[in-house]
Structures are given as C-alpha cells and as structure tokens.
C-alpha cells in the first residue's frame, strides 16, 4: 500500500470507526453469535488476490461486528471498565504510523525517552514520590511475573546466576489473598516457586481484604517449617469485589521478614488520579513494585500497564541481557528498556498515554472517574432499599456486588437463580454483567465505568436486573 492509498483508506477507516462508536448503544451489549460462527464465515483458505478497501470494510461489518461483545456500550458492566478512548486510539495509530520498534535506546531514542516521560508524568498524577521509576508493559499479569522474578532473585541471592532455584535448600514461598487475580498465582508458578509454595491467605469477612494477621501466621509457619518467604502480592481493588488489601500492614509484616511486596492495582490505579482516593493504598511508598492499568478504567486503549519499581538496578540485574548486535548504549545514562522486562522489542505505547492526556486532559478524566464513583454509590443505595436484594460487599470504587435472594431460596438453588437471571440480563442485549463467587456463593458484579455510562443507563440496567430476577427471566 502506498502512502496515497493509505491516506484514502485511512480517512475512510476513521470515518467508519467514528460511526461505529457513535452507534454503539444501538447494538446488543453481548454478542449473539454462537461458538464457531465467526470462524465459519471466513473462507477456509487464505486469499490469493487482494480486494479493495470498501469490500474489506463490508466484510469487517458482516463477519466481525456481530461477534463483538461491546465493551464501549453504556450498558456494559462486565469484568471491569475496558474503555478504549478515542484520543488514546489516535496515539496508538500514531505509534503504528511512525513504525518505531524499541529494541534499544539507539533504535529509537524518542520511543524510550517518551516512555520515561510518560511513566514519570503518570507517577506524579497518582501521587507517588520520586523514588519510583517506571516502564510500560502489556498487562498486569506480566507486571506480577516481573515482580515475582525480582523477588525470587532477591530472596535467593541471585540464584539464577548459578544453579537457579534447583540449587536452593529452602523452598521460597509467595503469599497473596484468596481473592487476588489468578494472574498472581500464575506468576508464582511461572516464576518457578511451585504451586505448593503459593499461600492463598484468608480475608477479613466484612471487607474481603487480606487479613494481615493471617498473613503473619502463614509466614511464621513457613519459616518454622524451613521455608523462605519471598514475596507478597497485595491487591488494591480486587477483581471480584474491589476489596482493598491493607498495604501498610502488609508492608510491616513482609518488611520484618525481608520480603518483596508487589501491589497489583490493575483497576484501582486509575482512582489514584483522584487525590481523595489515595487513602486506599496508604503505605504504598513502602512496597517494592506497583502495577496498574491505564487500559482499564482510565480508558487508554489496550494494552498499557504501568510497572514501577523502587530499585531499577535490581530489575535490570535480573532481566538484563547483552548481545553483540545490540551494543550497550551511546552513554551509560540511557535507559535500555529491553533490560526491564521479558521481550526484546517494544511498541511505542507511551504515545497513547500522551495523546490521551493531551487531548482529553486530566480534569475531564478525573470528572469521569468521580461520576462513576457517585453512580456506584447511587446503585448501591437503590439495591439496599429494595426488598429481596442484597449488597454483599463494601463499594469503595465502581463495582457493586449484588444478589437477589428470594425468600426460601438457599444454597445451590440460590446459585442457580443468580446465574439464570444474570444470563437473562446478558441475553437481553441491554446490559451485560459478569457473575462471580464471593464466599462459596455466586453473585452478580455490576462494574461501572464505561466512558459513555451515565446514571440514566444504570437506571435502565437496574430495571432490567429486577425484571430478569423477578419475572420469569424473560427479558428480551
């Protein structure tokens, strides 16, 4: 494709995206296709002849759009807010357009240095001190893995430089709450700790936040039995209920045992753009690493996860590599981000943050987050005063955990009822919720924070929820 052909097709694509976004509310939230239906509308053989751009867009519309669950729909309340803000999308387009590939500082000095600037701007915007240095990774899962690799090497006196964990006499152990995201556990076993050395610590029954006394007990028991506690992953804003693990208390317990503390604030990091929310990660300056995802509630287009460490030298010692075809640098002072993570090549992700901050502006982003916090409180209040309904967890952020509990329905029957009415809501196409287990029972999570979700949309969602839960699950 020549630049001239690109110009024409690119304008048409931007028009198409703008149209798609402005009509999102007219689509069903949840895709109605069944398994295999999208695959089936594609030819089984790859094309041998090019087609024109108009035809490609028509095929995109016919083949792909019906297979989308629309996370930008105002009735989308599943998983977590996954806004793909248009200002940041322009930055993503610019990133591809510039064709830069960050394999070293020299390969594109701007790519490295804009990333440094954006990480530092974002640090300031969430109120972290100057002791933090950051990088942008794809996801919070990767950040947890990086954190546990650093923790492993610190606790094993850099065993990777010799026999690795296999040379260690005492097994290393990792601790996280029973409600942390599964990526924390996955990071532990990917980093070689072994599932047997992962402790899922119990929580405070009212808040579902990690109980630091239980953490201290688990650590003491492991030490008494000859193991070496290496790391805690604390979650600020758990996926299930946005519980806030008590960072300060965790740091005290872990610090006394020389352990690494990583804070996973994948969702809640966005709230730290609001000074009034920063109590939620009180004690954060005492941890070793932090990650949060602008690609969630803040609305940066996926993927964009910020990973901060207090000791970049340790990270570079663990992740650094040398190769003759990638010389060390023009000067020792430059950052070689390939030595801060797993992949060699990196995208120019910083541009989408810059574009979002520049074009949307912080005040508008903050206003949207505040609106969502108010809307979550509004919904919680509605549910609390409605007979037969129960709010199951505190609502510090934008997620409301709810159950409809008809009289006489308990145990497995209650679970079946919950799953059925949530499924009916999703089938309606008007709203989309994801169920989850809290304690041993199923409940519905109403995750608020779509860019276009106003209180009026929540009123509509709440009406559909009540209709589906109380009148034969027949909404359509």
Interface positions with ligand PLP (CB under 6 A):
80, 139-141, 181, 183, 235, 238-239, 264, 266-267, 293, 305
The nearer residue to ligand PLP, 429 or 435, going by C-beta atoms, is: 435
CB of 262 to ligand PLP, least distance (A): 11
The nearer residue to ligand PLP, 215 or 304, going by C-beta atoms, is: 304
CB of 305 to ligand PLP, least distance (A): 5
- By the 8 A CB rule, do 435 and 426 touch? no
Phi-psi region of 25 (alpha: psi -120 to 50; beta: other; left: phi over 0): alpha
The nearer residue to ligand PLP, 151 or 267, going by C-beta atoms, is: 267
The encoded tokens of residue 72 equal 């930008």
The nearer residue to ligand PLP, 300 or 375, going by C-beta atoms, is: 300
- Which residues fall within 8 angstroms of residue 235, CB to CB, at 6 or more apart? 176, 177, 179, 180, 181, 184, 210, 243, 245, 263, 264, 265
Radius of gyration of the chain (CA): 24
CB of 236 to ligand PLP, least distance (A): 8
Dihedral (CA of 405, 406, 412, 417) sign = negative
Count the neighbouring beta carbons within 10 Å of the beta carbon of residue 338: 23
CB of 459 to ligand PLP, least distance (A): 26
- By the 8 A CB rule, do 297 and 369 touch? yes
The encoded tokens of residue 288 equal 């070793």
The nearer residue to ligand PLP, 104 or 242, going by C-beta atoms, is: 242
CB of 35 to ligand PLP, least distance (A): 23
The nearer residue to ligand PLP, 197 or 238, going by C-beta atoms, is: 238
The nearer residue to ligand PLP, 304 or 458, going by C-beta atoms, is: 304
Q: How far apart are CA 476 and CA 436, in angstroms?
A: 23
The encoded tokens of residue 264 equal 């996973």
The nearer residue to ligand PLP, 436 or 473, going by C-beta atoms, is: 436
CB of 36 to ligand PLP, least distance (A): 25
- By the 8 A CB rule, do 166 and 144 touch? no
Looking at 80-139, list the stretches that DSSP marks H as alpha helix, in order from N- to C-terminal side: 86-98, 109-125
The residue written with tokens 């996860």 in the block is 305
The nearer residue to ligand PLP, 149 or 475, going by C-beta atoms, is: 149
The nearer residue to ligand PLP, 250 or 267, going by C-beta atoms, is: 267
Q: How far apart are CA 56 and CA 63, in angstroms?
A: 10
Among candidate residues 235, 144, 122, the one with its CA nearest the CA of residue 190: 144
CB of 268 to ligand PLP, least distance (A): 8
CB of 79 to ligand PLP, least distance (A): 6
Q: How far apart are CA 92 and CA 331, in angstroms?
A: 29
The encoded tokens of residue 430 equal 């008007």
CB of 446 to ligand PLP, least distance (A): 15
Work out whether strand 289-292 and strand 260-264 pair parallel, antiparallel, or are unpaired. parallel
Q: How far apart are CA 473 and CA 360, in angstroms?
A: 41
3-state secondary structure of 228: strand
3-state secondary structure of 433: strand
CB of 326 to ligand PLP, least distance (A): 28
């Amino acid at each position: 494709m020549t630049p001239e052909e690109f110009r024409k097709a690119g304008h048409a694509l931007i028009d198409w995206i703008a149209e798609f976004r402005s009509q999102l509310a007219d689509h069903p939230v949840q895709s109605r296709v069944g398994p295999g239906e999208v695959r089936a509308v594609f030819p089984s053989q790859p094309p041998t002849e090019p087609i024109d751009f108009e035809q490609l867009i028509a095929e995109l519309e016919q083949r792909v759009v019906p297979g989308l669950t629309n996370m930008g729909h105002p009735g989308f309340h599943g998983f977590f807010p996954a806004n793909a803000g248009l200002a940041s999308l322009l930055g993503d387009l610019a990133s591809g357009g510039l064709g830069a590939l960050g394999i070293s500082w020299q390969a594109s000095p701007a790519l490295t240095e804009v990333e440094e600037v954006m990480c530092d701007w974002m640090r300031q915007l969430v109120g972290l001190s100057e002791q933090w240095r950051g990088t942008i990774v794809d996801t919070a899962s990767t950040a947890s893995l990086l954190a546990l690799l650093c923790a492993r090497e610190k606790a094993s006196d850099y065993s990777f430089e010799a026999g690795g964990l296999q040379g260690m006499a005492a097994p290393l152990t990792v601790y996280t709450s029973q409600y942390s995201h599964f990526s924390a556990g996955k990071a532990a076993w990917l980093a070689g700790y072994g599932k047997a050395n992962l402790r899922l610590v119990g929580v405070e029954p009212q808040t579902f936040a990690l109980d630091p006394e239980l953490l201290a007990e688990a650590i003491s028991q492991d030490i008494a039995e000859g193991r070496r506690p290496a790391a805690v992953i604390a979650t600020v804003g758990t996926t299930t209920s946005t519980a806030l693990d008590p960072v300060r208390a965790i740091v005290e317990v872990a610090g006394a045992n020389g352990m690494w503390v990583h804070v996973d604030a994948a969702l809640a990091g966005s709230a730290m753009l609001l000074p009034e929310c920063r109590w939620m990660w009180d004690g954060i300056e005492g941890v070793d690493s932090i990650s949060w995802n602008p690609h969630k509630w803040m609305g940066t287009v996926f993927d964009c996860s910020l990973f901060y460490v207090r000791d970049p030298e340790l990270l570079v010692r663990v992740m650094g590599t040398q190769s003759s075809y990638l010389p060390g640098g023009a000067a020792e002072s430059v950052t070689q981000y390939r030595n801060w993570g797993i992949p060699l090549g990196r995208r120019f992700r910083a541009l989408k943050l810059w574009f979002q901050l520049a074009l949307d502006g912080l005040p508008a982003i903050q206003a949207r987050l505040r609106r969502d916090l108010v809307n979550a409180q509004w919904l919680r209040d509605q549910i609390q005063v409605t007979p037969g309904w129960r709010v199951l967890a505190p609502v510090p952020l934008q997620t409301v955990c709810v159950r409809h509990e008809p009289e006489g329905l308990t145990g497995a029957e209650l679970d079946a009822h919950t799953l059925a009415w949530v499924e009916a809501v999703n089938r309606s196409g008007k709203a989309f919720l994801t169920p989850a287990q809290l304690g041993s029972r199923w409940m519905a999570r109403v995750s608020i924070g779509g860019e276009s979700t106003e209180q009026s949309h929540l009123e509509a969602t709440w009406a559909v929820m009540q209709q589906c839960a109380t009148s034969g699950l027949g909404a359509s």
